[in-house]
């Protein structure tokens, strides 16, 4: 458990996510068991765990979709239990399922989500032009999203999720089913976002992606079993890569995957 108290920096940068003894029970089943961790501004935080380890439940609580049974949590400075409306305004979210509307055009999707987050028309117009230029999507502006290739869709979905410059963006297995080249490009976007100061909270099943994170937590049976930078974790577990670290920890799991 000593990893939980790990504090890498001496100076105190802004904490964007603070979680203290967070618990979620469904009847007698404890899905999330006394979770505590902190994530700093601009950090890329990998949230790993086998299926059924409680990742999704924890993430839903952080996004204000589900109320914790016990414990406290703050996201972007707002209490996740009592200020979920404020939390929602300050986060972005992209799920493993494709999260744009297939029957809307590229610009309409951007327009819709920007509108939902309360951006004004001028800002939307300017930023849309800029975004399409950066992604080299100018030609696809008026194309229905369903006719884009998957990699392009994922990039667009991520860009839409951070379009309103949230404090944190939650990515739930964002690269599922995407080819390695596109995955690399996708991670470049993540790095760019982090450089702009957007904190990235990402779950993934790809262990090579875990290596890209600043810090990684590994959940087993509702608890965080390890939390550190990939480098430190590999040293501590005497492992060649993150996959070996993960295997050693996941083997302890008693819970079945759902």
Partner 1 sequence: MKQFLTFVKKEFHHIFRDHRTMLILIGMPIVEIILFGFAITTEVKDSKVAILDPSHDVATRHIIDEINANKYFNVVGYVHNSHDIQRVFKKGEASMVVVFEDRFYETLLHTGKAQIQVIADATDPNTATTITYYVNRIISNYQQTLMEKNKAPYQITPNIKLLFNPEMKGAYNFVPGVLGMILMLICAMMTSIAIVREKETGTMEILLVSPIKPIMIILAKMVPYFVISCFNLATVLLLSVYVLGVPVAGSLTGLILVSLLFIVVSLSLGLLVSTLTNTQLAAMLVSGMVFLLPVILLSGMIFPIENMPMWMQRLSDIIPAKWYIQAVKALMIEGLGIMNILKEVGILSLMTLVFTGISLKKFNVRLD
- Among 91, 131, 145, 242, which residue sits at the site for partner 1 (rule: CB under 8 A)? 91
The enclosing H or E element of 75 equals strand 70-75
| 3 state SS of 240 | coil
Q: Does residue number 97 form part of the binding site for partner 1 (CB under 8 A)? A: yes
Q: Does residue number 147 form part of the binding site for partner 1 (CB under 8 A)? A: no
Contact stretch for partner 1 (CB under 8 A) within 103-111, 132-140, 147-155, 247-255: 103-111
Contact stretch for partner 1 (CB under 8 A) within 4-12, 81-89, 128-136, 226-234: 81-89
Q: Does residue number 100 form part of the binding site for partner 1 (CB under 8 A)? A: yes
Counting every residue, how long is the chain? 258
- Among 4, 23, 104, 239, which residue sits at the site for partner 1 (rule: CB under 8 A)? 104
Tell me how far, at minimum, the Cβ of 89 lies from partner 1, in Å.
5
Sign of CA dihedral 160, 74, 225, 193: positive
Q: For residues 106 and 155, is the Cβ–Cβ distance under 8 A?
A: no
193 or 249: CB nearest partner 1: 193
Q: For residues 48 and 54, is the Cβ–Cβ distance under 8 A?
A: no
HEC-encoded secondary structure of 210-231: HCCCCEEEEEECCEEEEEECHH
For residue 56, how many other CB atoms are within 10 A of its CB? 21
Q: Does residue number 102 form part of the binding site for partner 1 (CB under 8 A)? A: yes
Give the residues lining the site for partner 1 (CB under 8 A): 63-67, 85, 88-89, 91, 93-104, 108, 111-113, 115-118, 144, 170
């Amino acid at each position: 458990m000593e990893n939980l108290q790990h504090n890498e920096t001496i100076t105190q940068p802004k904490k964007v996510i603070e979680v203290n003894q967070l618990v979620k029970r469904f009847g007698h089943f404890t899905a999330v068991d006394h979770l505590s961790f902190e994530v700093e501004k601009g950090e890329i935080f990998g949230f790993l765990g086998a299926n059924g380890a409680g990742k999704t439940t924890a993430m839903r609580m952080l996004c204000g979709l589900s109320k914790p049974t016990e414990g406290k949590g703050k996201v972007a400075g707002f209490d996740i239990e009592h200020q979920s409306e404020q939390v929602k305004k300050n986060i972005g979210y992209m799920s493993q399922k494709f999260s744009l509307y297939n029957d809307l055009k590229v610009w309409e999707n951007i327009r819709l989500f920007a509108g939902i987050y309360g951006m004004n028309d001028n800002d939307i117009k300017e930023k849309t032009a800029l975004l399409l230029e950066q992604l080299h999507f100018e030609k696809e502006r008026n194309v229905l999203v369903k006719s884009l290739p998957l990699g392009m869709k994922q990039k667009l979905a991520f860009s839409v999720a951070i379009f309103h410059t949230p404090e944190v963006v939650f990515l739930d297995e964002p690269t599922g089913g995407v080819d390695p080249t596109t995955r690399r490009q996708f991670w470049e976007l993540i790095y760019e976002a982090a450089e702009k100061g957007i904190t990235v909270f990402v779950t993934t099943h790809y262990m090579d992606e875990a290596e890209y994170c600043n810090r990684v937590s590994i959940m087993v049976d509702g608890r965080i079993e390890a939390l550190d930078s990939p480098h430190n974790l590999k040293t501590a577990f005497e492992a060649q890569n993150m996959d070996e670290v993960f295997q050693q920890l996941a083997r302890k799991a008693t819970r079945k995957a759902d």
